[in-house]
Amino acid sequence: MTVCCLGNATPVNAGSFQDSLELINLVKDTGTKVSFNSNAYDEHCKDRAGYYSFVENEEDLLVVCTSQIDEENPDELWEVIAHETMHVAQACNGWAPVAPPKYRARLLRELRTLAPHYAKLLVNSYSGQDQLLEMEAFWAELQTPSAIKKLFRLVCYKD
């Protein structure tokens, strides 16, 4: 699969709750449920801003842990939704990275330049396939809303 829009990372300000809403609706259209969880005592939301849970024939759920983010900040909301949406796209792609192998070094280079804390987290906290999946999800947070929506459509709405 050829993936568009890879390698065009620039720090962006999502700037709009509308962008997040549009991406949420694209995710919902795949059959994935989206939940906003404000329960600070939920074990899954204890130390993360969101997560994606998929168990075939049982659960397909993207969760935004609102107890961990400032819901009034459109950038924080966008980052969580873009990150978790990339995991939904990876599920659409058979739980495989979306980026072809030839782009992976570029994604990591962009993370090292634009979000060095993510690059460091990748190296220190993930390995193997998990590292590749998280690299794409962190990278997605840095992309423009139009690029992520286009990429998501390409991966999850195959004809």
SS (H, E, C) 102-117: HHHHHHHHHHHHHCHH
With a cut of 80, say whether residue 71 has pLDDT above it: yes
Q: What is the mean pLDDT of residues 58-65?
A: 94
Distance CA 56, CA 39 (A): 25
More confident residue, 159 or 81: 81
pTM score, whole prediction:
0.88
- 121-138 core/surface letters (b: 16 or more CB in 10 A; e: else): ebeeeeeeeeebbbbbbb
Query: What residue spans define the domains of the chain?
Result: 17-156
**pLDDT value for 64:** 95
**pLDDT value for 30:** 96
